[in-house]
Chain A
Amino acid sequence: MSCWMTIQDYGLRAVGIGERLLPREDFTLCQQFTLIGSGMIWNIYFGAFALISGFFFANALAMAKSARSPWLRKPAEWFIFIFRGSPLFVQFFFGYFLFLSLKQVFPIFTPFTAAWLGALVVLFLNTSAYSAEIFFGALRSIPKGDVESADAYGFSGWPRFKKIIWPTMLRLAWPAYTNEAIFLFHATALVFFSGFPAWQQKGDALYYANYFADKTFNPFVPYPILAMYFILLTLVVLSIFGLANRFLNRHLPQEARRKIKLKMNVIR
């Protein structure tokens, strides 16, 4: 069987298109590359959707946390504390079993027990909390002079926020937010190891890498393949966020631009 046929059979296996049975013996390199690559579809799906939806919620949370009224501030503070203070792995488990119990009472929660929605919700809440903390920090470090100048120009209320405060906050937060995006993509690898079942063996990249490592009892092939895919993904995310960073800093003199520095990759 040629490699091209393998790609046709297994290229979209992770979303259920193509050959149903996973390879069982005589694993070729091509099969491992194809299946692990097809699993990356899930990692990108989880990461991209959680990141985009989380961005908006994080902004709202950061605003709420810096609000003066305790009715807004306290819930935001607690939300951020709960999701940043506990391990994502336990959050996945708790979320899954919570949805499972809710399903008994309200049938509407049935799709939430599947990974595609349930895990996405957990990831969304988690990344919202982490990003909100980043945005909140940036909000507090907006130079006093910028806001004073805006006041002097007669900006106030919503226009001041839209034109001055929010863009500055985003610009200051962007390098840290880039790191958060990378962590999020890495965190997606946890999904299928944390309660959420991989239905019909449709799993993410790590799920397939683990499958091959278990079957061949040789970790030295599938995991480096997985590592390669993730490094590629990291580079893509970095370059996209780098473009956004350039856009956010376009009005500044060249030297003053804040470069994105890839900081530690750490799980939560």
Chain B
Amino acid sequence: MFSYCTDPNALSGLTWLSCYLTTGKHMAFYFSFGTVLLLLAITAPVALLFGFFGASAARSHILPLRWFGKTYIALVRGVPDIAFFLFFVIALDQMIEWTRHKILCPEWTEPVRQGNDFVVCQAAKMPLGSAPQWVHETYGFTLAVFTFAIVFGAFAANVMFGAMRAVPRAQMETAEAYGMTRRQAFRRILVPQMWVYALPGLGNLWMVLIKATPLLFLLGVEDIVYWAREMGGSKTSKFTEYPHGDWRMWYFFALLVFYLCFTRISEIFLERVMKRLTKGQATTGGEAQRKAPA
């Protein structure tokens, strides 16, 4: 990176550190923080969408749809979500390959599950065996995002289901009195009002989502945990120009600090939003704001 880094053996102290921290591998490490942020940026809205549809389904008048919604919400309770993460990644992958197998290789007669193996024809492999490395990585990342969205969608569905029920009944009755259909009342009255009630729960969920991002490592994505383990391990001068002992502790300390800063910033931001939203509301929060000395 820097011009004086050409001969690492001649360096010492801070200059050594500045060179060490700017090696190509470290750049990949810093880049993986971007991966985490990207995951958050994609997962949050998708999970919100899943949650919205889950909550709407759970309120539906159509019985199978309601069952689906309720099961979706209840599924994630009672079971550690790490189990869901590990489950969905394989399950989704096999589902995609199986579907492609059925479509692309109809002449294939052998069963897909042979003993301990899951065998599909070459053309159905996802991604194709011949695909370049970045396709494999993107596919893995997409699966991870989808898994996160399914699990956190269930959490969000639960929050929104509660928020929809918290909207005062009188509001819906007024909508009915104006002659609105169920759908109109849902779209015009319920949805705009539910957000105030959903925000504390969703904010909480956002914090939980941040703290769930290191689980990406378990889904086979090269994220910050992966790199911290990789680079912290002791290195001898045989393999690298920057030998050092076991520094994994310090790398994970850095991750700890990163997450602490991230959650703290989110907390402050959410507090601000909440303050703004509760202003003038007929809730205890709004009341406290009114009574507080101006």
Contact = CB atoms under 8 A, between A and B. Distances in A.
A198 to B, nearest CB: 15
B72 to A, nearest CB: 14
Contact of B260 (A85, A186, A210): A85
Given A97-B248, A215-B116, A230-B78, 5 more contacts: A87-B259, A97-B252, A230-B83, A234-B78, A268-B208
A217 B252 contact: no
A116 B195 CA distance: 44
B211 A206 contact: no
Contacts of A1: none
Interface stretch (A8-16, A61-69, A88-96, A107-115): A88-96
A43 B90 CA distance: 24
A90 B80 contact: no
A231 interface: yes
A86 B256 contact: yes
B79 A231 contact: yes
Interface size grouping (class) on chain B: 35 or more
Contacts of B215: 89, 267
B214 A231 contact: no
Interface class of chain B by DSSP: helix
Interface in A122-171: none
Contact of B249 (A81, A94, A215, A266): A94
A93 B215 CA distance: 12
12 contacts: A81-B264, A82-B256, A86-B211, A86-B263, A90-B214, A186-B79, A206-B80, A219-B86, A223-B86, A262-B77, A265-B80, A267-B80
Contacts of A267: 80-82, 208, 211-212, 215
A98 interface: yes
A267 B214 CA distance: 11
Contacts of A268: 208, 211
Contact of A217 (B77, B117, B228): B117
B246 A101 contact: yes
Nearest to B76: A265
B225 interface: yes
Contacts of A247: none
Interface class of chain A by DSSP: helix
A35 interface: no
Interface in B181-201: 201
B205 interface: yes
A264 B158 contact: yes
Contact of A85 (B77, B225, B263): B263
Contact of A91 (B115, B208, B213, B256): B256
Contact of B87 (A90, A100, A219): A219
Contacts of B229: 93
B198 to A, nearest CB: 13
A22 B184 CA distance: 59
Interface in A206-254: 206, 209-210, 213, 215-220, 223, 226-227, 230-231, 234-235
A7 interface: no
B4 interface: no
Contacts of A220: 91
Contact of B253 (A89, A94, A215, A219): A94
Contacts of B86: 206, 209-210, 213, 219, 223
Contacts of B249: 94, 97-98, 100-101
A25 interface: yes
B71 to A, nearest CB: 13
A49 B78 CA distance: 20
Contact of A219 (B91, B246, B259, B263): B91
